[in-house]
Amino acid sequence: MGGGLNMKTFKLDDYDYQAEDCIQGILVNPLLPDAFWTEPLIDRSDDEMGRWEEFPFILMEWEGMKKVYILDGDEWDRPTLRFASNDFNEVLKYLHDNNYIQFQDSQLTH
């Protein structure tokens, strides 16, 4: 996922990230490090953990499913799937309800 032609640079917490979009600090379809889905957390660099630990991101799949992942240690070698929905507003509501973003209900737009 990620790595598409529409990548932009976003600066968050002193790190530069490449992603298709960024909504209130949540990256959408980010460019992820090599072996991000398979490397044990204990083998990851301090830089990678600093960038990605407890940092939610959204992957949007071709069939319309939007998935929220977090590298939170619940899985020993990959980020944890925390939420999935075809409705982007539900994804935003999940992120809001879990204190990752703040918005007014009137700001649901996608």
pLDDT in tens, 61-96: 988 999 999 999 999 999 999 999 999 999 999 999
Strand order in the sheet with 8-12: 8-12, 15-23, 26-30, 57-60, 66-70, 80-85
Compute the distance between CA of residue 55 and CA of residue 1 in angstroms, rounded to an integer.
17
User: Domain ranges in the chain?
Assistant: 8-101
Q: What is the pTM of this model?
A: 0.86
pLDDT in tens, 49-65: 999 999 999 999 988 99
Contacts of 104 (CB under 8 A, 6+ apart): none
Q: Put residue 92 in one of left, alpha, beta given phi > 0 → left and psi -120 to 50 → alpha.
A: alpha
